[in-house]
Amino acid sequence: MLVAQDLHHGGLLAGLSLALPPGQVVGLAGPSGAGKSTLGRLLAGHLAPARGTVRLDGAPLPAHGFCPVQLLPQAAELAVNPRWRVGRILEEAYTPGPAARRAFGIEDSWLRRYPHELSGGELQRVVILRSLAPGLRYLVADEISAMLDPLAQAALWHRLREYMAGQGLGILAISHNTALLRRLGRVVWRLEDGRLHHAAPEAAAGKIASLCAEVA
């Protein structure tokens, strides 16, 4: 269990507490500038909270080495070294095998390329696979599918959920798209005024359910 308690940070978070259970996707929505990405950075140890604690199974996050909570940022191109080839980027924390590369649709020819020679969606998959190192327990996915078309978005999340179910991984999914968050997990939070609120279910929920039945 990843537990954040009484987090205060830069006037954005006012005593926020959150628990992420393993093997589940928890959704986080909220208006722009509410502090969703800041909360993600705090949970992944990229920032230290002004007050409050982030603990994984009762212990603080390790200060050195691979962090068991990994952040997937909105812009993959800002999360890689532009002077490294894709192959080296991919092996920064561990060496993903050919089977894992295939599962995430990463072609062998990409490994010799530089990050700017891949599309945003392609580089995103590289960054995701890079984070799935042994020892990973939680992923914070910050708007990772906003730039993808509907088919690519659904494919990416189905792949991640499959991996999550196999490894008992926990995911915090941050997105403006509440319809997507409801698809991913039962719990959807809304961050507003520095606190978490239960996201109101959409009026169209009944209609969506009937559409799903038709499609299936």
Partner 1 sequence: MLEVSRLSIGFRRPRGLWRREVVPALRDVSLRVRAGEVLAVIGASGAGKSLLAQAILGLLPPNAAMSGEMRFQGAPLDAPRLRGRRVALVPQSIAWLDPLVRAGRQVEWAAGRAGLPAPDRAPAAAAALARFGLGMAAARRFPHQLSGGMARRAMLAIAALGEAELLIADEPTNGLDPENAARVLGHLRARADAGRGVLVISHDLAAVLPLADRVAILREGALQETAPAAAFQGNGMALASPYARALWQALPEVGFLPAEAG
State the residues that interact with partner 1 by CB under 8 A: 31-32, 119-121, 146-155, 157-158, 176-177, 179-180, 182-183, 204, 208, 211-212, 214-216
In the complex, minimum distance from the CB of residue 157 to partner 1, in angstroms, rounded to a whole number:
8
Nearer to partner 1, 32 or 95 (CB): 32
In the complex, minimum distance from the CB of residue 161 to partner 1, in angstroms, rounded to a whole number:
10
Q: What gap in Å lies between CA 58 and CA 43, rounded to an integer? A: 14
Enumerate residues 6+ apart whose C-beta is below 8 A from 53: 4, 5, 6, 60
Nearer to partner 1, 100 or 152 (CB): 152
Nearer to partner 1, 150 or 166 (CB): 150
Contact 46, 73 (CB under 8 A): no
Nearer to partner 1, 104 or 157 (CB): 157
In the complex, minimum distance from the CB of residue 178 to partner 1, in angstroms, rounded to a whole number:
9
Token digits of residue 103: 């599962």
Q: What gap in Å lies between CA 114 and CA 142, rounded to an integer? A: 23
Token digits of residue 177: 């798209």
